[in-house]
Structures are given as C-alpha cells and as structure tokens.
Structure 1
Amino acid sequence: MAFSRFASPGAAQQRALDLAAFLALAPALWLPSGYSVGALLLVVLGLWRWPAVLRGRLAPNEPMRAWALAVLAMGLVWSMYLFEGGRLITNTLGLDRSSKYLLVLLALPAVWAQRPAAWALRWGCWVGAAGAGVLAGWQVLVQHLERAEGYTNAIQFGNLSLLLALWSGIWAMQASRRHERLFGGLAAVLGIAASVLSGSRGGWVTLPVLLVVLVWLIRPPAGGIKGHRGLRALGAALLACLLLAVLPPVQQRAHEAAQELLQRPAPEKSNTATGSRLAFWMHAWRLGVAHPWLGAGQRGYEQSQLAAVARQEMPSMSVHFNHAHNEWLDMFAKRGLLGVCGLVMFYAVPGFLCGRRLRRGGREPLENAAAASHGYDGQAVDEERHAAALCGLVTVLGYLGFGMTQVMFAHNNGNLMYLLPMTLWLAVCWPAASACGAFRTPIPR
C-alpha cells in the first residue's frame, strides 16, 4: 500500500481525503471513538471547499445532492426537541446528536470535487474488522468479559463489527491481488467473530438476509464461476445459519431468549432482555398512538416510562434505558409520524441510489472517458463503484435489521458509522465529473 504521486493541483487534498477515508473506518471500533479522527479530517477538508461552494464554483451532482437533503432532513428531525422543559438538551439525545449531522453537511463538499481512493476504503474496512476481532478476542479470552463490548456496548459493537466484516468481504472479492484477497477474507472472519463474541442476537438474525443480498449481487472474480447466483446466495445463508447454530455463544443466547419468552408471569413484566424489549415495544406503540404527529419527545418518553414502571406495566429495569430497542417504534413514540417519515427518507435515499448503481452495471461513458484520459482502467473503476454500491446497500439493510431489536441511532457510533461510510460509498459510486481523476488503477502499459 503506498500513496501515489500526482501532478494535479489537488494532489495534496486527494491524499488528505484518502487518509480521512481510511481513518474513518480503520480504527472505528478498536480505539475509543476511533472514527473521530477521520471524521474531523473530513470536516476540515469540507470547510476548505465551502468557499468554492458559496461562489458557485463547486456543486454536488444529483445523487450527492439527494444524500445531502436526506442528512439535512434527519438532522432537523433530531432537532425537534432540543428545548424541553425550558432548557436546552445538550446530551447525546439532543444537541450533541443533531450537531453531528451539521458537521457531516459541512464535510460533504470534500467528496463533491474528489473521490476517495478504493485502496483507502478497502484497507480501512480490513483493518477495522480485523482490529474489532482481535479486541473482542482479548476482552473475552484474556479479560474474561462475558460479552465483547469494545469501547461502547455489546450490541453496538457486535452489529457494527458485523457490518465491517461484510464490507471487508465485498472489498476482498473486488481485490485483484491474492494476498489482498486473503487478508480481506481473514478480516471478514475476524469481524464476524467479534459479532459472535459480543452475544448480539439481532445481528445474527440479520446476517443470513445480508448474505443472500451480498452473494446475489456481488460480481465473481475474473475467471470465477458465473451463474446459479440464487443457489449460491441460498447456500451462503444456510451455511451461515448452520455455523451460527453450532457456536456455543450463539446456542447460549438462543436458549436464554427461549427461556425468557416462556416465563410466567408474562415475559414483558420480567427483568430479562427479551421481556424488557416486549415491554419497551408495547409502551412505545401506546405513546406514539397518543401523540401521533410529533411524538412525546425524549423527556416525555422518559417520564411516561417512569410512570409505567410505577404502575407495574413495565419491568423495573426499564428505567435504566432511554430508548425503545426498536428504531421505528422509538421514533414514533418520540417524534411521531413526522420523525418516521424522516427515518424513511434517511434509509430510502441511499438505498435507492446504491440500488440504482447496482442495476446500471456498466460504466458511464463520461466517467469512463475521464478515467481513460487520466490513464486509469475503466473496468477496474467500474468494479470499485459496484463494490461501493453494494457496501452502501448492505449498510442500509443492516441498519434496518439491527433496528428491529436496537435503536442504532440512539448512540453516537451508530449515527457516525452510518453517516461517514455512506458518504464515502456514495462518493465512489456516484462521483462528480471532476472527481474522475481520482481513480487509482492505472491502465497496464
């Protein structure tokens, strides 16, 4: 891995962008707030570009404009209840969260003019997934923690490790060198191991679905077997189910869930992980129905939860949690249907853009000509864009699956590990015309 030298005036900015992309992914889970360095560098690069934006010399293309609007809309949703009870909410459920979306908006011009290099994304995912696996093994085998939790909590760590593993697998399939494919495959295995050691059941339920999508849409390597992708996808999902079923941590957590559901009295009134989730979901639904348009806000949610515990309608452990453990019900309870619409847009826009890129399949004539004029292999560029689009689609589907039993956006890492990678995936699969010179695969001479 080495930085290439360019004669173009933007070479320094390009190297800085590549470094920011790498740092947003590589240390994300095995360092405390590891993505922060890459995020900060992206913001600095974006601010550097904003004067050109204000002068009208730099503007996003249509896909990146749609993503910017989705980020803005979601940021406004999080800002709905910044003031509650006459005071400014500054913690992670208030100003701290909505400010992250503003910072990402400030960073977006960094990728409007230039495209992050594929090597930065590829190695960022690989180092990130491998680091998560090593950290999980250390925490469970050496520190003897019951569940690997990284520097966050076990659920967030397990789900995000799983995403890093899948991204690593996608980029490993796209890599042209054998040693890179081997390292990428090892990184994917370590990322999945981190998910298993975290004991996060929501990720395991989502994994077979994500594997079907991944194997169905991924392009086989040159000379690989083509066709029968439906059978391959089904086989991959069944293999994942079988492997998970025989792993002791998975068996233990599955047994716990079954026992909790069979408890008497009703499981939703017991202080268990499964029972408390049932109670959270029912309470959030009732609160959303009572405040359907704008929700009850964070403060209203917490107050109603305390009252429900006092009435013995929820288990006592509920007071230790400030969200409903379901992304959609939590949004409905706190920000009503308006918030739900914002969440739909936040998922649908990048999902549609990545799906659109995957359906096109071939290279765009303009971008292909631009790549060729800079001495780069158009076929390799197309494969990179396909890999980035598939990473983006897996991100959306992964968050949708994880959000059934967890509120990923209730946590700082859940927000930034969606915002930052999605921005990078979209910047690669929908680059501006001026970004075509950032391609990194020279045409063989």
Structure 2
Amino acid sequence: MLRELFFAFAWFFAALTFAISIGVPNGYGIGTSLLFLSSASLLYLKPRWSDLDEDDKRLVYAFLAFGLSMFAFIYIDDFRVRDLDRPSRFILVIPVMLLLLQSKNHKVWLWYGVVIGAILAFALACYEREVLGYGRAKGGEHPIMFGDTGMMLGMLSFVASTFFLTHKRYVWLTLSLLGALCGIGASVLSASRGGWVALPLIGIFLFWQCRFLVNKKTWVVTAITSVSLLVAVVLISQTGVKQRINETIENVIKYDNGINKESSIGLRFEMWKAAFYMFEDSPVLGAGKHSSVVEKNRFLEEGLINPAALKYGHAHNEYINALGYRGIVGLAFLLIVYLVPLRLFLKKMNQYKDNWNIKSYAMAGALVPMCYMDFGLSQVMFAHNIGVMMYAFPIVYFWAAVRWAEKEELAKSTAF
C-alpha cells in the first residue's frame, strides 16, 4: 500500500511541474525538486541497467553526453562552479526517469497538469496585463521564457485533447481545448514573437497527425474557427500582436539600411555577428562564454559590432550561440540532445500510429524538442533555469508514460 502511494506521489509531482510551471513564480522547480528527492528511493528499489531497453538507454546516453560535454566546456572556459548548475539538470533528471519507469499507473495525471498549467498561465498573463498594467506578461520570468513555455503548454494541451477524445472524456476534452487556447493566449500577452513561429509550423504537424480522429466537416469548422481567431488576435490592438509584427518589419528594414542597430532585432543581429566572428576564430571548440570577453572587446575596437550588444551574455539564438561559444563540437552535442529524444518519440508515434493510448504521450514528448528547436531561433533557452527544467524533465515524464502505456498494451494482448 505504501509503495503504491509513493508511486502515485511520483506522478503527482510530475503533473505538478506542468500545473504550476509558470502560473506560480518558479513553480516549475517545485515538482521537479520533490521528484528528484523522491528518486533517492532508487537505493531501495534497485533498478537494474539490464531492465532498460535500448531506447531507454539511448535517451540516457543523450542526456549524459550533453551534460558531460557542457561540463567539459565549462572546465576549458575559465572554470566556474556556478556554471555547472544548469547542465547538471540533464544528468540529475536520469534518476527521475528511472523512478518513473518503476512507478505504475497515474501517467494520465500528466494531462491534467498540462491543462491546468496552460489555464493558470493565461490567468496570470491577463492579471499582469490588465490589472498590473505590464506591457508584457512575464510571470516572474523573462517575458520570452514565459511566452515560449506558455506556447508549449498550449500545444501540449491540444495533444491532451486527442487523448481525452479517444477515451470519450468530454469534460476534460473541453478543458484541454480551452487550455490550448489559454497557452497560446499567454504567449500572445507576453509579446514574445519567437514562440509565435512555432504555432503554424507545429500546428500543421499536429493537425496532420490527428487528421483521422474526426470527420472532414469537423476539420473544416476547426480550420475556419482557428483562422478567424488568428485574424482577430492580429487585428485587435489590445493584444499587441500587430504592433509587434510591424515593429519587427520596421526594425529589419532600418537595420538593413544601417540605422537603429540598437532595436531588439538590431541587437540580435549584432550578437549573431559577434558569435559568427568568434566561430571563425575558434571553429572547433568555440571561444568560450567567459574567455570570449577579450574577443568581443576586440570586435568593438575594430568597429565590427555595436557596443550595446556586449551587455548580453548570449547570442539570443541557441544554435549560433553554441557555434560561437562551443564551436562545431558544441553544436553537435546540442543537436544530439534535440534529435535523439525527437527520434525516439517519432519512432513510437509511427509504431503505434493508430493506438492513441500510446501515441498521444509520444506526440507530447516529440513536441518538447520540436518547440525548443523553434524557440532556439530567437532565444538561448538553456541559458535559463526554466528553459533547462522544462525541457529535460517533460521529456523524461512523457517517455516514462509511453513505456508504461506500452506495457499496458502488452498486458492486454497477452491476457487473451
């Protein structure tokens, strides 16, 4: 009895990660911390490495490779202990994965957490914009991190709707669709443009995967409704979307003409230039975050970049930042931590393409690296605590859920 209760708490903490991730300041760290502390029980459970299948091990290897590679780069780059904190999460999440692979049942709670998290995020965004008068909703985080996480929660809520639809749980189906709108709404109110790019790209992927779930008439109504909502969001001035789009276009044009290099877009271009200059000087291992200060000052003296770009600690692009600070080797490890989990989840989606009890969890898992690969175009997500935590832990959660769903299907097939 106590063992089952403990396992239930493990899944509750996982669901809590989503539920209060950005709706509560630093909420993402509460469930993850409790779950990591719970993983100490592995000393009693004593899982065996041989019990893991090859795909489990590939995910472990990918996280270990990225975490240890970051440790190596930190050692090379004027070693500072505090820099070990964020990459260490990719290693510390491994015992959490092993714990959840031991913890039966309750994986459905992940969907509840996702939906609640998206709705809470939107409620907080509305409060900050309408009551507190903030120009951008941020929920105690950087507005970009808040908006991008909200967008991911919204998309995960849409995937939750596929699970509830196939299980004919219509109340939660309605709530999950509301959660999808709320997550997107939180992103809109954060005025974080980078996350908006993910909506059409990943949205097409989601609709394609779900095309056979409902009839054509429903899809037509859904498409018309979605387009109408999108147009409304753009046209309503209070959302700030149209203004942000116009601002982006204007900034790009002005930068191209050699003026206004200190706009948000102009500074990004300047930071990207600096990162590429560093990559040219150190293409294999990069210039290093701390060691690059000398090089950046040289670029400034030579008039290659705008002085305002030097106050930022990263290049506001995950890929370019990796190239500048860690070179080709660093970029390769970044792609590993993106593509290995993505490939594993897509493999499960293809293997169980008509079994939504498994496919829904696999699709949610695939969305996490897909979202981050998009968000990384305009932000260095792994430079923030929330960025690391809301990547590594959700991947582990959904992977454990997929593996348990597989075991359930196997048990059903052998029962007959």
**TM-score computed with the length of structure 1 as normaliser:** 0.83
Q: Give the one of 333, 339, 351 matched to 2:342.
A: 351
Give SS of 1:82's match. helix
Letter in 2 for 1:299: H
Residues 269 and 314 of structure 1 are in contact (CA less than 8 Å); yes or no, is this contact kept in structure 2? Answer: no
Q: CA deviation at 1:238?
A: 5.3
Q: Describe the shift of the 1:305–1:240 C-alpha distance in structure 2 as closer, same or farther (beyond 3 A).
A: farther
Cα contact 2:19–2:113 (8 A) shared by 1: yes
Report the CA distance between 1:268 and its aligned residue.
8.0
Cα distance between partner residues in 2 of 1:395 and 1:57: 26
5 Å-filtered alignment, 1:13-162, equals 13-50=6-43, 52-53=45-46, 56=48, 59-83=51-75, 88-91=79-82, 94-115=83-104, 117-162=106-151
What per-residue deviation string (whole Å, max 9, x for no partner) do you get for residues 71-102 of structure 1? 1011012212333675x4233xx111122122
- Which residue, 174, 195, 209 being the options, matches 1:203? 195
CA pair 67-50 structure 1, distance change in 2 beyond 3 A: farther
Q: Aligned partners of 1:74, 1:40: CA distance in 2, in Å?
A: 21
Report the more deviating stretch, 177-186 or 162-171.
Answer: 177-186
1:303 equivalent to 2:294? Answer: yes
Checking the alignment, whether the CA contact within 8 Å between 1:216 and 1:232 is kept in structure 2 is: no
Deviations 1:170-213 (A, max 9, x none): 11232132221122122221111110011111111221011100
Q: Which residue of 2 aligns with 1:390?
A: 363
| Cα distance in 2, alignment partners of residues 126 and 85 from structure 1 | 41
CA contact under 8 A between 1:25 and 1:35: conserved in structure 2? yes
1:329 shift after superposition: 0.8
Match of residue 12 from structure 1: 5
- For residue 279 of structure 1, what is the aligned residue in structure 2? 270
- One-letter identity of the residue aligned with 1:143: L
Distance apart, 1:438 and its partner CA: 13
Unaligned runs of 5+ in 2: none
The match for 1:361 is 352
Query: Does structure 2 retain, via aligned residues, the 8 Å contact 1:78–1:97?
Result: no
Residue 190 of structure 1 corresponds to which residue in structure 2? 182
Identify which of 303, 307, 319 aligns with 1:328: 319
> In angstroms, what is the RMSD of aligned CA positions?
2.9
Structure 2 counterpart of 1:411, one-letter code: H
Letter in 2 for 1:323: H
**Residue matched to 1:403:** 376
Q: Deviations over 1:338-382 (max 9, x none)?
A: 11111111111111111111112268xxxxxxxxxxxxxxxxxx4
Cα contact 2:365–2:398 (8 A) shared by 1: yes
| Native 8 Å contact 1:268 1:314 kept in 2 | no
Quote the Cα distance in structure 2 between the aligned partners of 1:199 and 1:177.
34
The count of aligned residue pairs is 407
What SS does structure 1 have at the residue aligned with 2:397? helix
1:417 aligns with 2:367: no
* Residues 158, 203 of structure 1: 8 Å contact kept: yes
Does structure 1 conserve the Cα–Cα contact (< 8 Å) formed by 2:251 and 2:260?
A: no
AA of the residue aligned to 1:191:
G
Q: 1:281 to 1:165 in 2, by over 3 A?
A: same
Is residue 2:163 matched to residue 1:174? yes
Distance (Å, rounded) in 1 between the aligned partners of 2:177 and 2:405: 31
Deviation at 1:311, TM superposition (A): 3.7
Q: Which residue of 2 aligns with 1:377?
A: none
Where in structure 1 are there 5+ consecutive unaligned residues? 1-6, 364-381
Identity of aligned residues (%): 25
Which residue pairs with 1:225 in the alignment?
A: 215
- The structure richer in helix per residue is 2
Rounded Cα–Cα distance in structure 1 between residues aligned with 2:333 and 2:43? 26
